[in-house]
Amino acid sequence: MAVICAAVSYDIYQFVSMPGEYLVVEGEERTLNLRLPFSIVATSENEGILKLNGTSITTEGTSVSSRHPLLIQTTAIGNTEIEFRLFGIIPLKKMTVSVISPSKVIPGGHSIGVKLLTQGVLIVAVADVTAIDGKSYNPSAQAGLSVGDSIIGINNIKIRDADHVLELLSNCKGEEITVEIKRDNKVLLRHVKPVKSQEDGKYRIGAWVRDKTAGVGTLSFYYPDTGAFGALGHAVTDVDTGLMLSVEEGEILESRIASIQKGEKSRPGEIRGIFFEEENKLGYIEKNTEFGIYGVLSKNLENAYYSEPISVALHHQVKEGPAYVLTTIDKKIERYSIEIQKVSNQYYPEPKSMVIKVTDDRLLESTGGIVQGMSGSPIIQAGRLAGIVTHVFVNDPTRGYGIFAEWMIQNAQADSGDSTTKVDKTE
């Protein structure tokens, strides 16, 4: 008896632990692999959108057998909330189901140069300064500045770049300055007293800063009607601190492959590209997120494999099995075979959605598998954009991670406004 009760309790726990929201594509059937050893009653606030196991869900309640997997069938676009009750009496679960038309985009695969200007300047190191009195000081550390902070203002003047910081420090003549920094989406004010360096006679605060970064990656997708694009599948981070860069502005540019360092065990490979900052601009970057960079194209692009948009797969539509990637390792986009070896059970955006393995002999011969610069390459499965290549396994360059395309699409459609709202005037 105890074993039976435990099994039933576990089944109920699984049922109650289901996500509170489900996205289903119009015309799709979706199976919920959950079983309960007794009947449940489902009610819907909006009739005519869904069926469960072939039976329409009504506002008055529809009895559903739960001894078999629940089959959700869509009949119209819209949203509805389903409530499940045990024996029609005891509330078990409420679930919102949205029936949507599939998002459609044109896959990328284009090699791109990525140029970012940070918001202000990023502190990449703090160090002692030997002053003209021969003593060592560390004004930044003493004032509470840290690696990863972005200096966005000095004495109420907005910082343009690293040279601008030097100019403002020179003008202060050693007087205490008010430094405005951005840390974890908060704006903080700190007071710093520069010291005159023994080395060159210039005023310093003991902070090494960077104001821009550049590299090569791959375009993931774009909307042909609006030009909105996504790329990389992961954030652009600072090479020294590993922290995500706060973007002031940025551009993507056409990139020409210069050379390829083949990937080997414990030594990731790399695609090296050439791009010219003043020529062949493709678009403008508006935001840098955990799930890639996003912006708007400034010129029309073509994909030889896809002249028309394709549907974006929802996460539950991605399956283990064959697929292919679109990427550029020479002069044009090519299609290469891969295998999706593992699909994570993710209900909310997370970066490592799937494990992929390169199976195409041509790509293995050229690159050894997945290399730096391929980040952002679209993964196509069953005619849909299933995911985006993000990382390589250090100990096995033939394998790596991908993110569900659905998560990137959500970020592309999200508000790109700055979330900084709070100013902390702590001394």
Cα separations in angstroms, 41 against 44, 52, 87, 147: 10, 11, 7, 57
Tokens coding 98: 């949205």
Query: Which of helix, strand or coil describes residue 411?
Result: helix
Residue 27 contacts residue 65 (beta carbons within 8 Å): no
Judge whether 234 counts as a catalytic residue.
yes
> How many C-beta atoms lie closer than 10 Å to residue 424's C-beta?
11
User: Of these residues, 234, 315, 316, 391, which one is catalytic?
Assistant: 234
Judge whether 375 counts as a catalytic residue.
yes
Judge whether 163 counts as a catalytic residue.
no
Q: What stretch of H or E contains 261?
A: strand 256-261
* Rounded Cα–Cα distance for residues 422 and 427 (Å): 15
User: Of these residues, 11, 161, 360, 396, which one is catalytic?
Assistant: 360
Residue 100 contacts residue 25 (beta carbons within 8 Å): yes
Taking CA 374 as the corner, what is the angle to CA 108 and CA 102, rounded to the nearest 5 degrees?
35
Q: Find all residues with CB under 8 Å of 297, minimum gap 6, and list them.
A: 222, 227, 228, 229, 282, 283
> How many C-beta atoms lie closer than 10 Å to residue 193's C-beta?
15
User: Of these residues, 140, 150, 220, 375, which one is catalytic?
Assistant: 375
- Phi and psi, residue 108, nearest 5°: -95, -125
* Rounded Cα–Cα distance for residues 386 and 303 (Å): 17
Matching residue, tokens 């042909």 = 224
Sheet holding 62-64, edge to edge: 21-25, 90-100, 78-86, 40-44, 62-64
Q: What stretch of H or E contains 211?
A: strand 207-222
Cα separations in angstroms, 33 against 5, 54, 317, 413: 20, 16, 15, 31
Active-site residues, by number, are: 234, 360, 375
